[in-house]
A and B are shown apart, each in its own frame.
Chain A
Amino acid sequence: MQQGLHSCGACGLLSRPEPGEDAGRCPRCDEDLAFRKPASLQRTWAYLIAAAICYVPANILPVLTTTTAEGTASDTILEGVVLLWSPTGWPLSLIVLFASIMIPSAKILALAYLLITVRRGSVENGEQRVRLYRIVEFIGRWSMVDVFVDVFTAALIQLQPLMSVEPAPGLLFFAAVVVLTMLAVESFDPRLIWDSASPKEVRYA
C-alpha cells in the first residue's frame, strides 16, 4: 500500500493501478482490488454486535426439548453440558463446554480487543495480535459442534410415544452466533493491525 501497489486477495498477485483509477481488477484472476478490505472495521463491528446480542438468548433459551412419558423437559446449552457430565463422559462434556460456551465468548472478546486496538492506533504486540486473529479464525468453526449434536440427537430419538427429542428456539440463536462471528472474522482485515506502525501510509480504515 505504501508503494501504491494492490495485493490481490484471491491469487496474491501484486499489481499497479492505472493512474487516476482508485482500484481496478486483478489482471490475473479478475478479482476486484482494494488496498484493504472495504469498510472492514464497520462491518466487523456490525457482525460482532449482532453476534453478542444473539449470544444472550442462545444461552438462556433451551436448545432441545425432550418429551417422555413423564412429561416435557427443555435443556439449554449449559444444562446439556451438565447432563453429559459422568464418570465416563466427562471428556465429551468438556469438549461441548469449550466449543459451545468458551469459544464463542472468547471469540467475541478477542475480536473486540483487535478492533479497539486497531481503532486506537496501537503499535504494540502486532505479532501477538495477528497470531490471536489466526487462532480465532482457525478455531471458530468448531463452535458448530453443538448444532450438529442437537440436530442428530433430534433426528434419531424419535421413539414416540416413549421418548422424542425436538430442537428448540435457542438453537437458532446459537447457530446465528456461530455464523455471525465467522462473518466478523472474514470481514476483519489483519493488515490494519500493522498500518499504524507505519504512519506514512495513507489510512484507508
Chain B
Amino acid sequence: MSEYNAQTVGPLRAGSKARLYATVYNQSLADAALIACPDCDMLQRLPDLAPGASARCPRCDKELWRRREDALNRTLALTLAAAVLYVVANTVPMIGLTAVGREASTTVLGGALHLWRNGPAIVAVLVLVTAVVAPALQIGFMLAIVLGAHREHPPRWVGPLLRHHPATRTWSMIEVMMLGVLVALIKIADYATVIPGVALFVLGALVFLLAGIQASFDRREVWQRIEWAIAGERRAAAGDRSAERAS
C-alpha cells in the first residue's frame, strides 16, 4: 500500500505547479500600446508620451498614463528617505503634555497599545494597520520594486509586489493620522500644555515624501520591464522536464 502511494505521488511532486493546478494564461495581444480604460473599459491606443506628459481617456477623463522623467532614480531616492523617516517616526515620542506637574507622552505605537488594553481591540488593530503596518509595507514594497527594477533583468518577485502595492497605498493613512493628531493636540491644549514631539515633524515630512513617491513613480515603465509570469511558468515547466529527463 505504501509503495503504491509513493509511486503515484512521485511524478506529481516532480511536476510543476502548472500541471497540478492547471494554470491557464490568456494570450497577450501583439500591440502593447492597446489598453482598455480601467474606469470605463473604452478600448484605445496609448500614444508614445514625452516625459512629464500624460494621456487621458477621451470618454471618462481618467488619467491612463503619465510618463515620468527618470522615474526609477527619483523614486528610489524618495523611498530611501521615507524609510529612514519612518523608522525615526515610530521610535521617538509624537506628542506629550504637562499638566499639574505631571508629564505624559506617546508614540504612534503607544496610542494603538493603549486602545488595545482599554478600548475596542479591533479598532486598535485598525489603527495599527493604517498608521504603522500599511505605511511600512507601502515603503518596503516600493523600495524592493525600485531596487528590483533597477537590475538589467528584474527578478520575478517584482511583479507580485507591484500587483499588491496599490492595496498598501489604500490602507496607509499617515496623512489622515497627522490631521487627527493635530485636532487632538488642540483639544488637549484646553486642559494641559502640549509638547509636539520630534515624531510629529518627522511624520509631517513623511506625508510629503509619500506623496512625492506617488508622483514620481511610473507603474507602466516597471510593468514593461518585468519578466512575464507566463515566461517564468514556461521556464519552470521546461526546467522540470529536463530534470525528469536527467533523472
Residues of chain A touching chain B, judged by Cβ–Cβ distance below 8 Å, are 1-3, 5-7, 9-18, 21, 24-31, 33, 83-84, 89, 92, 95-96, 99, 126-127, 130-131, 133-134, 141-142, 144-159, 162-163, 166-169, 171-172, 175, 179, 182, 186, 190-191, 193-195
Contacts and interface: CB of A to CB of B under 8 A. Distances in A.
Given A166-B119, A171-B119, A147 B223 contact: no
Given A5-B43, A153-B188, A12 B181 contact: no
Interface residues of B, number: 72
Nearest to B26: A15
Contact of A155 (B34, B106, B162): B106
A147 B25 contact: no
Contact of A126 (B60, B96, B126): B60
B50 interface: no
9 contacts: A9-B38, A12-B38, A13-B223, A14-B43, A89-B186, A131-B61, A148-B177, A154-B118, A191-B40
Interface stretch (B75-83, B109-117, B208-216): B109-117
A14 B38 contact: no
Contacts of B126: 147, 175, 179
Contacts of B41: 1, 7, 191, 194-195
Interface in B92-108: 94-97, 99-100, 102, 104-106
Contacts of B155: none
A5 B26 CA distance: 9
B100 A162 contact: yes
A7 B46 CA distance: 14
Interface in B153-191: 159-160, 162-163, 166, 170, 173, 176-177, 179-184, 186-188, 191
Contact of A14 (B34, B94, B160, B162): B34
Contacts of B120: 167, 169, 171-172, 175
A55 B176 CA distance: 20
Nearest to B189: A89
Given A14-B35, A144-B176, A149 B40 contact: no
A7 B127 contact: no
Given A29-B160, A144-B177, A152-B181, 6 more contacts: A25-B229, A126-B59, A131-B61, A147-B126, A167-B118, A191-B41
A151 to B, nearest CB: 5
Contacts of A26: 25-26, 229
In the complex, the 4 A-B pairs of residues with the closest C-beta atoms, listed nearest first: A148-B180, A167-B119, A15-B26, A30-B229
B130 interface: yes
A82 to B, nearest CB: 12
B28 to A, nearest CB: 5
Contact of A148 (B27, B32, B176, B186): B176
